[in-house]
């Protein structure tokens, strides 16, 4: 049986093991995005708008009840040309920068407001889980078009 979005978020926050198989089961069950879950395909990593999309998702979770951003998996509304409900792994590096460092760098503009800081976990198979708790402060994000 597939995990729920809340179970995935809680496991990621507690730094419990989450595997690519766990995420794949959620995709096969067509677990929809909700208050605690946002799917983003691997093409987002390194894309021009990638940093803004990641910052917006993290700020949204921090300003609500918290949640988990899954990079490297497409939900049902894949608008990137990737197949919905599939794993679409992130590259291991963005340029010369390891994947986890790249994701951490994208959150630097939010760090002064994010309390507590998100837990970022790279899962084997090119997935990244960004587990965000509700922030003590309002987390502003400036949308750039």
Residue 43 lies in a domain: yes
Residue 72 lies in a domain: yes
Residue 108 lies in a domain: yes
Residue 83 lies in a domain: yes
Q: What is the mean pLDDT of residues 71-93?
A: 87
What's the domain count of the chain?
1
Of the pLDDT bands very low, low, confident and very high (cuts 50, 70, 90), residue 145 is low
Residue 145 lies in a domain: no
Q: Are 54 and 107 in contact (CB under 8 A)?
A: yes
Q: Are 38 and 130 in contact (CB under 8 A)?
A: no
Q: Is the pLDDT of residue 61 over 90?
A: yes
Least confident segment among 14-28, 109-123, 130-144: 130-144
Q: What average pLDDT does the structure give for the chain? A: 94
Residues 6+ apart with CB under 8 A from 66: 9, 13, 36, 131, 132, 133, 134
Residue 37 sits in a domain whose CATH number is 3.30.950
Structural domain containing residue 81:
5-133
Per cent of the chain over pLDDT 90 is 90
Residue 55 lies in a domain: yes
């Amino acid at each position: 049986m597939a995990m729920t979005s809340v179970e995935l978020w809680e496991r990621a926050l507690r730094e419990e093991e989450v595997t690519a198989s766990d995420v794949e089961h959620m995709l096969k069950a067509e677990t929809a995005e909700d208050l605690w879950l946002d799917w983003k395909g691997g093409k987002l990593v390194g894309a021009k708008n990638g940093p803004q999309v990641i910052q917006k998702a993290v700020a949204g979770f921090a300003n609500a009840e918290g949640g988990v951003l899954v990079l490297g998996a497409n939900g049902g509304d894949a608008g990137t040309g990737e197949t919905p409900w599939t794993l679409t792994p992130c590259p291991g590096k963005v340029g010369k920068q390891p994947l986890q460092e790249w994701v951490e760098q994208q959150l630097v503009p939010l760090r002064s407001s994010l309390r507590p800081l998100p837990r970022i976990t790279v899962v084997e198979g090119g997935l990244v889980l960004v587990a965000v708790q509700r922030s003590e402060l309002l987390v502003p994000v400036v949308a750039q078009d």
